[in-house]
């Protein structure tokens, strides 16, 4: 995972979100446009320029109590407006493991 500091230098090439893990339980969360966090990708603030991404990341990192490990992740925005993870890693973080768990949830 690229550190947030390094990501500040990275330019995004498509729609992106800021994601992290919730501090108290580690659940995957996404930064919303209302300066909060949500476990739903559909609630995520979408950024489309590097400046927007850096600003959203800076704001997210400032919430050190609520979330850890914030970083910018690519997403796909469908014609319908639905947001999908932009790579396998983010797909797995959103949907869970790709295998059957030893004990069904």
Partner 1 sequence: MYAYDELDRTIINERVSEFRDQVKRRLSGELTEDEFKMLRLQNGVYLQLHAYMFRVAIPYGTLSTKQLRALAHVARRYDRGYGHFTTRQNIQFNWIKLAELPDALADLAEVGIHAMQTSGNNTRNVTSDQWAGVAPGEVEDPRIWSELLRQYTTLHPEFSFLPRKFKFAITASDHDRAAIKVHDIGLRLYKNAEGETGFEVLVGGGLGRTPFIGKTIKPFVHGHDLLSYVEAILRVYNQYGRRDNIYKARIKILVHELGIEKFAQEVEEEWLQMRDSALAIDDAVIEDIRSRFSYPAYEKLPHMPEELKKAAHDPHFEAWRKNSVFPHKVPGYAIVTLSLKPVGGPPGDATADQMDAIADLAEKYSFGEIRVGHEQNLALPHVARRDLPALWKALDKIGVATPNVNLVSDIIACPGLDYCSLANARSIPIAQELTRRFANHETANMIGRLHVNISGCINACGHHHVGHIGILGVEKNGEEFYQITIGGRADEQAAVGTLIGPAVPYGEVADVVEDIVEAYLALRARPEELFIDTVKRLGVEPFRERVYATR
| Residue ranges that bind partner 1, judged by CB under 8 A | 1, 21, 23-28, 64-65, 68-69, 87-89, 92-93, 96-99, 101-103, 105
Q: Compare residues 81 and 98 and give the one whose CB is closer to partner 1.
A: 98
Query: Min. distance of Cβ 10 from partner 1 in angstroms?
Result: 16
| Sheet strands side by side (includes 83-85) | 37-38, 28-31, 16-22, 67-77, 83-85
d(CA 37, CA 22): 9
Q: How many CB atoms lie within 10 A of CB 55?
A: 13
10: Cβ–Cβ under 8 A, 6 or more apart, which residues?
2, 50, 72
Query: Min. distance of Cβ 41 from partner 1 in angstroms?
Result: 14
Query: Min. distance of Cβ 102 from partner 1 in angstroms?
Result: 4
Q: Compare residues 45 and 90 and give the one whose CB is closer to partner 1.
A: 90
Query: Min. distance of Cβ 93 from partner 1 in angstroms?
Result: 5
Q: Compare residues 25 and 81 and give the one whose CB is closer to partner 1.
A: 25
């Amino acid at each position: 995972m690229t550190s947030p500091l390094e990501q500040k230098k990275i330019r995004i090439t498509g729609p992106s979100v800021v994601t992290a893990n919730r501090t108290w339980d580690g659940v995957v969360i996404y930064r919303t446009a209302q300066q909060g966090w949500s476990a739903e990708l559909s609630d995520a603030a979408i950024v489309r320029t590097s400046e927007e991404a850096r600003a959203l990341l800076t704001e997210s990192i400032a919430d050190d109590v609520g979330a850890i490990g914030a970083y910018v992740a690519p997403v796909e925005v469908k014609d319908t407006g639905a947001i999908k993870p932009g790579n396998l890693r983010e797909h797995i973080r959103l949907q869970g493991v790709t295998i059957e768990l030893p004990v069904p949830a």
